[in-house]
Amino acid sequence: MGYTISEKILLSHTKSKKDIAPGDFIMAKVDFCLGNDITAPIAINEFRKLGKKKVFNQKRIALVPDHFLPAKDMKSANQAVTLKDFAKEYGITNYFEIGRVGVEHALLPERGLILPGDLLVGADSHTCTHGALGAFTTGVGSTDLAYAMAFGELWFKVPESIKVVFTGKTRKWVGGKDLILHLIGDLGVSGALYRSLEFTGDTITSMPMDDRFSMCNMAIEAGAKNGIIAADKTTESYVKKGLRRYKQVRKAYKVYKSDKDADYAEVKEYNVSKLEPMVAAPHLPSNVKPVSELKDIKVDQAVIGSCTNGRISDLKQAANVLKNRKVNPDTRLVVIPATQAIYKEAVDEGYAETIIKAGGVFCTPNCGPCLGGHMGILGEGETAIATTNRNFVGRMGHPKSFVYLSNPAIAAASAVKGAIAHPADL
């Protein structure tokens, strides 16, 4: 019996085993680990209890203050100081201050820090995003991060794999976000619990990197351990660009692919040629409906950004919808490019100008409203449509507020209409 791509990557990082099977408990070496301003303070505290003088590798840890920065209050400022001081004390090279920082799951791939074949653990549930690079990347807790920073390894339970085959050419305004929402709507929020979600098929192979990141990003919303897309020419081109631009010294990577006789717990197939843009309604990411069923629901706020859809092609889509149009007078539009490089490119390409002329807000990179942190919290009774990844009760603010999840074009069209809308409605 052959192996899936996830099994292969885990096996190649395990010291003591010659073979691997779902359900096995293993200790595996990590290539990289990651924490942010919310999760790293606990990790740092736990790390200090170990009394170690060094981290496992100063170049293989990233501390990214992206959630509550620029500091939203004194306590958040203190949490960020904890990260900064620790990075200095232990010589951690990948610490990013504001002005250089971005949303972690957009920043690290952009900078060529995560490579195909890597094993990455991150103290953030959306660490699954980087699986789009053909790496095994999974969210863990703060104590896990402390252990990984100390020893360069971590315990894992080997997951079963679900193969998801997407075929067909997507319609206009339909992208990776819609595919993953459609899948989560089908699986439910625990349909992939403790499993690896492997995305394949001709729709995937012709998909640009930004859409692949969106898809892998939301694997966790179906309960998955990781989401993964085998690296191909598109991936390698993206990776090499990042390595060159940021002059990274660690350049060697390995492309893994699932064996033809690999064993899957489940195989799901979707032809997406007729799929329309999808929207997740309150209060679960699995409460997914086609946008046509949700039209005219009034929105008070639209958010375009986050590790799900804050990349340049997301901003371009939004700008295409907003060009020569105005945001509805009763609606707020908040646009947050995920990194400084994306921010600058959006300015250079004129997307920022389009957004501002339309009456939208254009923010510095941060996670902000996605988790109800800052930069656009909802008040009681308010409704938002957002390109983010979760819409649980109270996710974006008041427990009596409502969040719909969508792709950037739908969010932009809804900002103009003041209600959930498709660009074709404008």
Q: Rule CB under 8 A: say whether 371 interacts with another protein.
A: yes
Q: Which stretch binds another protein (CB under 8 A): 10-18, 245-253, 329-337, 389-397?
A: 389-397
Q: Which stretch binds another protein (CB under 8 A): 147-155, 231-239, 242-250, 269-277?
A: 147-155
For the CB of residue 374, give the shortest distance to another protein in the complex, in Å. Answer: 10
Q: Rule CB under 8 A: say whether 146 interacts with another protein.
A: yes
Nearer to another protein, 76 or 340 (CB): 76
Among 28, 33, 34, 38, binds another protein (CB under 8 A): 38
Q: Rule CB under 8 A: say whether 46 interacts with another protein.
A: yes
Sheet strands (E) in 312-406: 332-336, 361-362, 383-386, 402-405
Q: Rule CB under 8 A: say whether 308 interacts with another protein.
A: no
Q: Rule CB under 8 A: say whether 123 interacts with another protein.
A: yes
Q: Rule CB under 8 A: say whether 68 interacts with another protein.
A: yes
Q: Rule CB under 8 A: say whether 57 interacts with another protein.
A: no
Among 67, 111, 177, 332, binds another protein (CB under 8 A): 67
**Pairwise CA distance, residues 204 & 196, whole Å:** 17
In contact, 409 and 214? CB cutoff 8 Å: no
Instruction: Using alpha carbons only, give the angle 288, 291, 292 rounded to the nearest 5 degrees.
Output: 125
Q: Rule CB under 8 A: say whether 270 interacts with another protein.
A: no
For the CB of residue 340, give the shortest distance to another protein in the complex, in Å. Answer: 24
Q: Rule CB under 8 A: say whether 284 interacts with another protein.
A: yes
For the CB of residue 424, give the shortest distance to another protein in the complex, in Å. Answer: 33
Q: Rule CB under 8 A: say whether 264 interacts with another protein.
A: no
Length of the chain: 426
Most distant CA atoms of the chain, gap in Å: 63
In contact, 170 and 177? CB cutoff 8 Å: no
Q: Rule CB under 8 A: say whether 21 interacts with another protein.
A: no
The alpha carbons of the chain give a radius of gyration, in whole angstroms, of: 20
**Pairwise CA distance, residues 260 & 348, whole Å:** 45
35 has which bridge partners?
A: 63
Q: Distance between the two ends of the chain, CA-based, in angstroms?
A: 53
**Pairwise CA distance, residues 275 & 386, whole Å:** 20
- At residue 254, φ and ψ (nearest 5 deg) are -130, 130
Q: Rule CB under 8 A: say whether 281 interacts with another protein.
A: no
Among 144, 210, 211, 314, binds another protein (CB under 8 A): 144
Show the site string, 75-104: x = touches another protein by CB under 8 A, - = not: xx--x-------------------------
Alpha-helical regions (H) of 333-406: 340-348, 351-358
Among 111, 177, 325, 395, binds another protein (CB under 8 A): 395
3-state secondary structure of 322: helix
Residue type, 209: M
Q: Rule CB under 8 A: say whether 131 interacts with another protein.
A: no
Tokens of 350: 């004129």
3-state secondary structure of 68: coil
- At residue 291, φ and ψ (nearest 5 deg) are -55, -30
Q: Rule CB under 8 A: say whether 155 interacts with another protein.
A: yes
- At residue 302, φ and ψ (nearest 5 deg) are -120, 135
In contact, 32 and 61? CB cutoff 8 Å: yes
**Pairwise CA distance, residues 40 & 173, whole Å:** 37
Determine the size of the site formed for another protein (CB under 8 A): 47
Tokens of 125: 């549930």
Q: Rule CB under 8 A: say whether 217 interacts with another protein.
A: no
Tokens of 220: 């966790």
**Pairwise CA distance, residues 195 & 6, whole Å:** 10
Among 337, 373, 376, 423, binds another protein (CB under 8 A): 373
For the CB of residue 147, give the shortest distance to another protein in the complex, in Å. Answer: 6
Exposed e or buried b for every residue in 241-277, given b needs 16+ CB within 10 A? ebbeeeeeeeeebeebebeeebebeeebebebeebbb
For the CB of residue 46, give the shortest distance to another protein in the complex, in Å. Answer: 5
Nearer to another protein, 185 or 360 (CB): 185
Q: Which stretch binds another protein (CB under 8 A): 220-228, 255-263, 313-321, 348-356?
A: 220-228
Nearer to another protein, 39 or 339 (CB): 39
Q: Rule CB under 8 A: say whether 337 interacts with another protein.
A: no
Among 21, 193, 267, 426, binds another protein (CB under 8 A): 193
Binding residues for another protein (CB under 8 A)? 25, 38-39, 41-42, 45-46, 49-50, 67-68, 72-73, 75-76, 79, 123-125, 139-144, 146-147, 150-151, 155, 189-190, 193-194, 220, 223, 225, 284, 371-373, 390, 392-395, 399
